[in-house]
């Protein structure tokens, strides 16, 4: 069980982080989106708010040495054919992929696979909530963007990325704090419920 | 894309399999519950009925050899702290664990972890559908049992298993066929909708 510091106040939208008396600066936090989401998910589980978990990275195991107690000695990483996270919140199915970029002008679609797009389309079709969590590291901003926008952008043959301003306009800025790192369920509340 | 044979007729409940002109006998099918579920899930995805996927086995990677193109040379299996399967069907979140047993008298709880029980409790609390798929290999019978029964049985200190007759009485026999191997969404339809 993680101990959560009490009274952590989320920073207001678009506020610049200057001389804030916090343990973790926004700059530090921004370094690892996956860790931020995992910590937020653990908070949501411990506080009995939602059950959202990370799918383990799929690994193809080639060889296992049982003489040393099942040590994997030969294996390789496989591409995730679905998304990184899914779970249940307020009775609804949630499914999302998290990506961060160092770029300032756009969110590149190059490391999103067709399988992931197809998976998210299906989730939407069957009544789930599907979205992307997109962090622009240069600005320390993290957005929640409905999967439909990314699915649409993925269609255009020449469109290899989504401009920053489109993410900002169609997405929703996620408030950040110490714990949970990312208040993304607040956005879910206001956008989907 | 898998090609599905047309007109596969599910076998009636409790029917003994004798001289049936099918490619796969019930005895053969029964050997691998996980494979049967994976094939059923792929059918449900391809037929646009549901999106239910297997969580990859969590593996702790200790050492990777990048000189040979990211070959994992030292790693070990970790215990699944959640369940094997989850997804979305008719707008609802589904979460389940599949187990088969060679025993004839009871379903042993020994290889279900406290973490899994806690996870399923949370899923139920947040409005998800949580259950077990339990196969008795000796009888070639596979049941869908709501997680609440297993959670309850897990409470009793002396109760290390659930008697076969309790699984049969409280659970629901899943029809089997060639494709999908297990008609478990039919049971979901009748029990939860």
The pLDDT score that the predictor gives to residue A13 is 39
For A113-172, the pLDDT digits (tens) are 999 999 999 999 999 999 999 999 999 999 999 999 999 999 876 668 999 999 999 999
* pLDDT reading at B3 higher than 60: no
Q: What is the mean pLDDT of residues B170-180?
A: 94
Q: Residue A8 — very low, low, confident or very high, per pLDDT cuts 50/70/90? A: very low
- Whether the CB of A89 is below 8 Å from some CB of chain B: the reply is yes
Give CA–CA dist B60/A132, Å, rounded. Answer: 26
User: Would you call B190 helix, strand, or coil by DSSP?
Assistant: helix
Tell me the sheet residues that pair with B136. Answer: B101, B141
> ipTM score here?
0.81
B71, B72, B88 ranked by CB distance to A128: nearest: B88
The pLDDT score that the predictor gives to residue A14 is 40
The pLDDT score that the predictor gives to residue B31 is 57
Residue with the larger pLDDT of the pair B156 and A76? A76
Q: Å from B128 to nearest chain A CA? A: 6
Kind of pairing between the strands at A129-136 and A92-101: parallel
The pLDDT score that the predictor gives to residue A159 is 65
The pLDDT score that the predictor gives to residue A80 is 81
The pLDDT score that the predictor gives to residue B12 is 39
Q: Residue A1 — very low, low, confident or very high, per pLDDT cuts 50/70/90? A: very low
For A11-68, the pLDDT digits (tens) are 433 433 333 333 444 444 445 999 999 999 999 999 999 999 999 999 999 999 999 8
* pLDDT reading at B7 higher than 60: no
Phi, psi values for residue A40, rounded to 5° = -65, -45
* pLDDT reading at B2 higher than 90: no
Inspect the interface and report whether the beta carbons of A90 and B55 lie closer than 8 Å: no
Inspect the interface and report whether the beta carbons of B74 and A73 lie closer than 8 Å: yes
User: Would you call A122 helix, strand, or coil by DSSP?
Assistant: helix
For B28-84, the pLDDT digits (tens) are 444 599 999 999 999 999 999 999 999 999 999 999 999 988 999 999 999 888 999
Residue with the larger pLDDT of the pair B80 and A70? A70
pTM of the predicted model as reported, rounded to 2 decimal places: 0.83
A50, A56, A123 ranked by CB distance to B58: nearest: A56
* pLDDT reading at B97 higher than 90: yes
* pLDDT reading at B10 higher than 50: no
Picking from B107, B133, B135, the residue whose alpha carbon sits closest to that of residue B187 is B133
Structure tokens belonging to residue A37: 């989401």
The pLDDT score that the predictor gives to residue B8 is 39
The pLDDT score that the predictor gives to residue A68 is 84
Residues of B in contact with A119 (CB under 8 A): 51
Q: Å from B52 to nearest chain A CA? A: 10
Give CA–CA dist B122/B86, Å, rounded. Answer: 14
User: Would you call B109 helix, strand, or coil by DSSP?
Assistant: coil
- Whether the CB of B74 is below 8 Å from some CB of chain A: the reply is yes
């Amino acid at each position: 069980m993680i101990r959560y510091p009490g009274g952590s106040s989320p920073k207001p939208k678009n506020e610049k982080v200057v001389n804030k008396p916090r343990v973790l600066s926004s700059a530090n936090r921004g370094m690892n989106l996956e860790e931020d989401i995992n910590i937020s998910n653990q908070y949501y589980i411990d506080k009995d708010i939602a059950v959202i978990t990370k799918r383990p990275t799929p690994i193809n195991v080639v060889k296992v040495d049982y003489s040393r107690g099942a040590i994997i000695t030969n294996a390789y990483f496989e591409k995730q054919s679905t998304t990184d996270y899914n779970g249940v919140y307020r009775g609804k199915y949630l499914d999302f992929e998290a990506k961060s970029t160092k770029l300032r002008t756009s969110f590149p679609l190059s490391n999103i696979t067709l399988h992931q797009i197809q998976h998210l389309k299906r989730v939407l079709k069957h009544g789930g909530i599907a979205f992307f969590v997109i962090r622009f590291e240069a600005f320390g901003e993290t957005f929640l963007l409905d999967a439909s926008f990314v699915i649409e952008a993925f269609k255009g043959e020449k469109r290899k990325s989504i401009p920053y301003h489109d993410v900002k306009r169609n997405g929703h800025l996620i408030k950040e704090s110490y714990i949970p790192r990312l208040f993304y369920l607040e956005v879910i509340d206001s956008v989907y419920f």
